Structure formats: structure tokens, C-alpha cells
Chains A and B, each alone.
Chain A
């Protein structure tokens, strides 16, 4: 029997979660997966291409449903930050910040000021429509803006494709508020640089480890 009384102060429980891809040739990604995933620290999830890293984040974000089992935990997850997402491309980063502030009942001017004061993105980039920015700048704004929103745990996909300085700043921002981060990568180097705990997706399951070192050893 699975023991869910783990050492994590806050965690989300994946209870016999099954997920099948919704593609032309469906295949099983997770088969009755059981895991306790901590959400109060930086957890790097390692996995090969196609292992299900993005699917795991989509499941946690609530964007994709599970095909079996359930997820348990009173955790407010962010949207998946993957550069493809939540910012409205027709308006600028500043205008997106105002709208997000209204959606999350925060003072709009304060959020805009905070966002534009964060290092890593130029003032001009904040004023250009998101759709007109380079993918790198778009991703940076997406990450920085999300870091100011009131979530318990953030979901960041493919940290290899994010600017390292932006990522470091983002992690400082969220850990100061005691929020967690679950990020995915296929590169052990990135996991070692940013992670506090590790997890590996392998064999249609998720294996969680207390340290990144153990996760990398398992990942091979």
C-alpha cells in the first residue's frame, strides 16, 4: 500500500493516474502512476523526449484530464509556461499585465510597475505587442509575469529554452513567496543547476527523489 504521509510539507498526490495520448494512434503515457510530488520547492522533472513531461504539467495545470485515477491536493497550480500560451499576442506585455491583474484581483498599476521593474526585459519590449516580439523575449515576459501571480506552485516546461538569468530571477521571486516550481528538462545539467528535488519520468511512471543527485543517477 502506498504511504502518502511523506516528508513533503506540501505535496500533490497522483493516485493511480492513467493517461493516454489523444493522437491518431493513441498510446499509454502514464499507466496507473502513483507518486507524491512536492510543490513547495523547485522540483526538476527529467525525461527523454516523448516521455510525457509536458503531459504531466498539462495534467497538473488542469488543461488535460486524466483517463484514470485522480490527483489529490489543495494546490493552486499556474498555467503551463511553455512559450505557447497565456499571453494575448495582440496587445503588449504591459496591457497583458493589467488584464491579468484584473483577473486575479490585484491592483493593475502595481502589477505593471512590479513587472516592468524586473531585470531581464527592456522597457520597449514591455510596450510592444507580444506577437511582434522575438520568441525569447516573449518567453521571458511570460515567465516573469507569471511569477508575480498568486499561485502556490508554478509549472515551467523545457527550462533549457528559457533565458538562464530570467529563470534565476523567476526562481528567486517565487521562492521568496514560498511558492514551488515543477519544471521539466531532458538535460541533467539544468536539473543540477536549478533543482532542489528531482523526479524522473520513465516506464510510464513518475519516480520522485529527495535530491537532484538521486534523480540524475536514476535517469542515467
Chain B
């Protein structure tokens, strides 16, 4: 083996080792946060699932009994898709803003950075809402709702993109808020605008053309529609495209990471050593 190859192999092994260490740190941060939040609570981590279930239940009755116009009239999936996507996004988004801003006490531990904390919030948001989707769909199936098992690949893809979108929006929002603090109230208003047009209360297939043209700029509504399609293959997704939120996520990720790097004071390297 030549010296060049040996160096390349050693470099690749180092990278894999660092990735493995990062995954361990992220996993530990998730457990740390859950243990701290629910230490004295008899319901424990189940509360993380119960809270969105209760909200979905309330909205299910609203949609079903208020007779809202919903494609295929499967109200449970409509509500589940809308709220699952929104909760996943907001968990990743809020968690990233909080962690990118202050990092939390975990960043006092040598080797743990604010980015680890952000990613831990986003990974947990992804895992929680994939589990939430399957649990509620299974629960609905047991109670007699016309629901089959959700498409695992599509569920993971939509929630992965949703958590990624929350992460990238969060990084950019945190950076903007740090550089221009008076903009924070407007950033909060922007969050409300994202909520209203996220597809929780409407579908791209049933709104008017004018409204559809306007709300389709929100990447979340595309994810919401595809999440519903993942649970019901008959749910129409003619007007929703996963490529749009994916592109937005990539661009915002690039910009957000660059802004975070520019704003974060850099001390020692990730491996704990100085150069």
C-alpha cells in the first residue's frame, strides 16, 4: 500500500470514528434531555406522544363533525398528516434556535458543541413523529378507521425532510436574530404565517386556485400532503412536490450553516485538540 493510500485510509477511518462518536453524543443528549424532563413524572416519555394525540383528537372531531372539505373524507389521516408534520417541524425549529443560541449546559462538556445539541433535537423530532404516525395509525386501525399501515419509506422521507427543514430554518432564524435582534418579533410572526399555510386546515387539492398559488410557496404544505399520501395511497398529491421542500432545505442549510459558523466563536477543534 502506498503512503498516499495509507493516509487516505487512515483519514477515512478517522472520519468514521468521529461520526460514530458524534452519533453516541447525539444519542446521549436525547436521553439526557428526556430523563431530565420526565424524571418525576409517572407518565414519563409517553407524554411526548400524548400531547400531540390529544390535539389531533380535538381537531379530528372538529373536522369530522364540522363537515370540513377533506379529500377522501378520511379525517383521521388528514389531521394526523397535518399535525404530525407541523409538530415535527416546530420541534426541530425551536430546538435548533434554542441550542444554536445558547447551546445549553451540555456544551460545557468538552467535545459537545451547540451543533450536537441542535442535531439531537432534530433527530428526536424525526424519531418521535415517525413513531407517533405509526402509533396513531395503528390505534385508528384497531378502532375501525379505514387506515392501512403507512408507507415506511415515504413517512421517513417526509419527516426527515421536515426535521431537516426545521433545522435549517432554525439555524438561519437564530443567525438573523443574533445579528439583528429587533427582528425577533417579525421572525415570530413569520412562524405563525408558516403555521397557517402549512396545510393543517386545508389541502392543495381542495383550495381555490388563487389560494393554492399563494400557500404552495410554503414548503411545509408539500410535506403535509405527502405525509397524508404516505398513510393513504389514494390521497391526491398532484399539486405537491417533495423536490420543492428538499431544495429549500438544502439552500437554507447551506446559508444557515455558513451563518452559524461565522457567528460561533471557535476555540479548539472537534477532537478536543488545538492545532
Contact = CB atoms under 8 A, between A and B. Distances in A.
Interface of A: 12, 59, 61-65, 70-80, 85-91, 95, 99-100, 102-105, 129, 151
B24 A102 contact: yes
A163 to B, nearest CB: 21
Given A102-B27, A103-B112, A73 B274 contact: yes
Interface in B32-86: 32, 35-37, 39
B115 to A, nearest CB: 14
A89 B32 CA distance: 11
Interface stretch (B102-110, B123-131, B217-225): B102-110
B234 interface: no
Contact of B21 (A63, A85, A105): A105
B28 interface: yes
B266 A79 contact: no
B24 to A, nearest CB: 6
B119 to A, nearest CB: 14
A174 B129 CA distance: 44
Contact of A76 (B25, B35, B110, B265): B110
Interface of B: 21, 24-25, 27-28, 31-32, 35-37, 39, 105-106, 108-112, 265-268, 272-275
B117 to A, nearest CB: 12
A29 B266 CA distance: 19
Nearest to B36: A90
Nearest to A13: B274
Contact of B267 (A59, A87, A103, A105): A59
Given A102-B24, A102-B27, A88 B273 contact: no
A61 B267 contact: yes
Given A64-B267, A88-B36, A91-B35, A76 B109 contact: no
A127 B37 CA distance: 17
A85 B108 contact: yes
Contacts of A74: 273-274
B108 A79 contact: yes
Contacts of B27: 102
Given A77-B110, A151-B110, A85 B105 contact: yes
B272 A100 contact: no
Contacts, number: 79
19 contacts: A61-B110, A61-B267, A62-B110, A62-B272, A63-B267, A70-B275, A73-B274, A78-B110, A86-B105, A86-B106, A90-B36, A90-B37, A91-B35, A91-B36, A99-B32, A100-B109, A102-B27, A103-B24, A103-B25
A88 B28 contact: no
A63 B266 CA distance: 8
Interface centre among B110, B112, B274 (most CB of A within 10 A): B110
B28 A72 contact: no
Contacts of B267: 59, 61-65
Given A64-B267, A102-B24, A79 B274 contact: no
A75 B24 contact: no
Nearest to B38: A90
Contact of B24 (A12, A85, A90, A105): A105
A61 B274 CA distance: 10
A61 B268 CA distance: 8
A76 B25 CA distance: 17
Given A91-B32, A99-B32, A77 B268 contact: yes
Contacts of B36: 88, 90-91
A76 B39 contact: no
Nearest to B109: A86
B103 to A, nearest CB: 10
Given A78-B110, A103-B25, A103-B109, A71 B32 contact: no
A75 B112 contact: no
A131 to B, nearest CB: 10
A78 B272 CA distance: 9
Nearest to A151: B110
Nearest to A90: B36
Contact of B273 (A75, A79, A87, A90): A75
Nearest to A85: B108
Given A72-B275, A102-B28, A105-B24, A90 B39 contact: yes
A63 to B, nearest CB: 6
Contact of B266 (A61, A65, A80, A104): A65
